[in-house]
Amino acid sequence: MRYGRGRLTMVKWLLDPYAVAGVYLLLIAFVLDRPGEAAGLSLACAIVPFQLVLMTVLNSLTSVQSRRSIVVNMRFERALIPFSSAVTEGIGFLATLTLIAVMMVAYGVELTAAVLWLPVLVATTFLVAVALAYPVALIGLWFPETRAIMLSLTRAAFFLAPGVVALDQISDDTSEWLWANPLTGLFEAFRSVFLYGESPAAGELLLPFAFAVVTLALFVPVFRREGPQFAKLVE
Amino acid sequence: MSASIEARGVGIQFHFDRQRRVLSPTLARVRRGGPEPWALRGVELSVEPGEGVAFVGPTGSGKTTLLRLLGGILAPDEGSLAVRGRVGALLSPQAGLLGLLTGRENAELLGVLVGMSPREARGAVGPIREASGLGDSFELPVSSYSEGMRARLGFAVAVQRHVDLLLLDEVHEAVDHEFRAVVAERVREVREGGGIVVAAGHDHAVLETMCDRAVWMESGAVARDGAFRDVVDTYVKP
């Protein structure tokens, strides 16, 4: 329902990550001239998890307002609202995993046993998206004028992580700083599994996991405390 | 379980910033500057099992806010409120329905939101379709429904499960004559089962068929509380 009804909207939804990958592929192959190893696959390893994060942020920014009809009419657990935003976008995320499969075929990269890490990658990415959904939903509700800024910040986070090029192509000094961004671990974990065919390093998954747990611990209680006020704010 | 309502000095306050945007109380602590009116203040209300209570009063007097408070949609900013019993609420003819979804999809979604398991909600769809009387329109997007059709669907979902406390806000005014009889029948069942019905609206003749007590709301406070005819006659007296 997030994208409406009909086959065309479904096709658009599936093609979104392919379009993003195409644009960035042109950028790094022709403009920056830094294609690196299997550039398209490397990009896909960043774009696929980032799509979930970006779309969840986009959805969450208006998640309370867009559910106005039930918020002002029904008693229900308000903490489900951000979670449902992430679940909605999570369905699209699972579909966009096909981008990685297409890129692996295109670059002749073979699957290894490391692919067994896929459920852990999916779960960690989803957890990060869910965690971000709570503060973002509150910001979108409290400061609706900042929605465009929030989207820009989220897009900036892609470039403040090894999104366009892999971490090993970035200077050591810079790459150390990039670890402060939870997306770095996610992107590199996807590359470890699908590009390099090896298990992700512990930090690649633990850092985003820790970020998600801390964010949830901080913001779910705030969201629940604020829930009984939502009907006033969206009326 | 029998129902009861006990409100003591209940208040609901709104906070605004300088641009007259509504703030949450949390934000209001750091972004003061606008007015902070009380939508409800000092409301005292005690309702016993089996009672039918009508909220009457002019638009903006706090009837809907008080219903939302009783329905757990808002929490009191001051005072105490104890509501016992399972609540079924229809606080707007829009009924919490999502326009893009069909009647069937809305019934499933709202069923889950009112506490049914997904399996229960799917199982309840047939009876809800039947109770709503929507026929084939049940399979169409709710955006194509009239206000009365939405109210029918919302009411059918709200009362699908056993409810001890039924809250209705101007809903009976949105539905046609035929469905009013369905609403009246359900109201009678709830009250006879020891439940409570609280209804707000401006159609006093319809309210009187459901309620024998009235609470006249005025500027966010209870102006008068008593037998339906006494209160309404005083309220409408020129």
Residue of A74, A222, A228 with shortest CB distance to B96:
A74
Query: How many domains is chain B built from?
Result: 1
Residue of A141, A142, A228 with shortest CB distance to B75:
A228
**Nearest Cα residue to A228 out of A59, A61, A79:** A79
Which regions in chain B score pLDDT beneath 50? none
Predicted confidence at residue A5, as pLDDT, reads 66
Q: Which of A70, A74, A234 to mutate to test the interface with B (most CBs of B within 10 A)?
A: A74
Question: Element (H or E) spanning B227, and its range?
Answer: strand B221-227
- Put simply, whether B59 touches A (Cβ < 8 Å) is no
Contact B14 A70 (CB under 8 A): no
Residues B189, B195, B200, B206: is their CA dihedral positive or negative? positive
Residue of B95, B101, B114 with shortest CB distance to A1:
B101
Is residue A31 pLDDT above 70, yes or no?
no
Contact B90 A73 (CB under 8 A): yes
Which has more confidence, A110 or A167?
A: A110
* ipTM score for this prediction: 0.84
The one-letter amino acid code at B27 reads L
- Put simply, whether B140 touches A (Cβ < 8 Å) is no
Q: What is the pTM of this model?
A: 0.86
> Roughly how many angstroms between the first and final C-alpha of chain B, as a whole number?
42
Domain limits, chain A: 7-234
Length of chain A: 235
Burial of B94 (0-12, 13-18, 19+ CB in 10 A): buried
Predicted confidence at residue B199, as pLDDT, reads 95
**Nearest Cα residue to A128 out of A91, A183, A85, A63:** A183
Name B156's Cβ contacts closer than 8 Å, sequence gap at least 6.
B107, B128, B129, B131, B132
Predicted confidence at residue A187, as pLDDT, reads 96
Provide the CA B112 distance to its chain's centre, in angstroms.
Answer: 19
Residue of B12, B14, B95 with shortest CB distance to A73:
B95
**d(CA A212, nearest CA chain B) in Å:** 24
Predicted confidence at residue B159, as pLDDT, reads 85
Contact B71 A232 (CB under 8 A): no
**d(CA A159, nearest CA chain B) in Å:** 32
Is residue A29 pLDDT above 70, yes or no?
no
Q: How far apart are CA B73 and CA B4, in angstroms?
A: 17
Predicted confidence at residue A178, as pLDDT, reads 86
The one-letter amino acid code at A98 reads T
- Put simply, whether B25 touches A (Cβ < 8 Å) is yes
User: Which residues of chain A are within 8 Å of residue B14 when distances are taken between CB atoms?
Assistant: 232
The conformation of residue B70, written as its DSSP 8-state character, comes to H
**d(CA A188, nearest CA chain B) in Å:** 38
Predicted confidence at residue A30, as pLDDT, reads 63
User: Which residues of chain B are within 8 Å of residue A5 when distances are taken between CB atoms?
Assistant: 100
Predicted confidence at residue A188, as pLDDT, reads 96
Q: State what percent of residues in chain A have pLDDT above 70.
A: 92
**Nearest Cα residue to A123 out of A186, A51, A184:** A186
CB B156 within 8 A of CB B132: yes
**Nearest Cα residue to A24 out of A218, A166, A216, A149:** A166
Contact B91 A142 (CB under 8 A): no
Confidence class of residue A232 from pLDDT cuts 50, 70 and 90? very high
Q: Chain A residues within 8 A (CB-CB) of chain B?
A: 1, 4-5, 69-76, 141-142, 222, 225-226, 228-229, 231-233, 235
Q: How far apart are CA A18 and CA A23, in angstroms?
A: 9
CB B153 within 8 A of CB B124: no
**Which CATH number does the domain housing residue B104 bear?**
3.40.50.300
Name A11's Cβ contacts closer than 8 Å, sequence gap at least 6.
none
Residues A196, A201, A206, A208: is their CA dihedral positive or negative? negative
- Put simply, whether B24 touches A (Cβ < 8 Å) is yes
Predicted confidence at residue A216, as pLDDT, reads 98
H helix runs in chain B, sequence order:
25-28, 63-70, 103-113, 118-132, 147-158, 177-192, 204-210, 228-236
Residue of A69, A75, A235 with shortest CB distance to B98:
A69
Cα–Cα–Cα angle for A194, A200, A201, rounded to 5 degrees: 150
Residue A117's alpha-carbon distances to A123, B102, B105, in angstroms, are: 10, 39, 35
- Put simply, whether B78 touches A (Cβ < 8 Å) is no
Q: Facing residues of B38 across strands? A: B13
Confidence class of residue A20 from pLDDT cuts 50, 70 and 90? confident
- Put simply, whether B16 touches A (Cβ < 8 Å) is no
